[in-house]
Structure 1
Amino acid sequence: MDARMEEDDDYMSSAFLAVDTRPGLVFDKRVARKRKIEEETKRRQKETKKPVKQIEKEKRDEGLVKEIGSDNKGYALLEKMGYVKGMGLGKDGGGRAQPVAVKIKTDRGGVGRESEAKKRATLKARLTSAVAETKVKVDEMNRGDFLRRMSSKYSDVEIERDVEKSQRACWELDQAKNLTHVEEWYWPASVTGRDKKEDYEKLAEPELPQQLEDITDYIRDKHCYCIWCGIQYKDVEDMDQSCPGKSKDIHD
Structure 2
Amino acid sequence: MEQEDDYMSDSFINVQQDIRPGLPMVRHMKEAIKKEEKHREANQKNRQKSLKEEEKERRDTVLKSAIGNENKGFALLQKMGYKRGQALGKSGEGIVEPIPLNIKTGRAGLGHDELKKRKAEEKLENYRRKIHLKKQADEQAEDQFRMRFKSKQEERKVEGDLRKSQRACQQLDTQKGIKVPKEIWYWIEPEQEEEKDQEEIKDEDQDSDLSGLEKLQILTAYLREEHFYCIWCGTAYEESEDLSSNCPGDSSADHD
| Superposition TM-score, scaled by structure 2 size | 0.36
Between structures 1 and 2, the one with greater helix share: 2
Question: In terms of Rg, which structure is larger?
Answer: 2
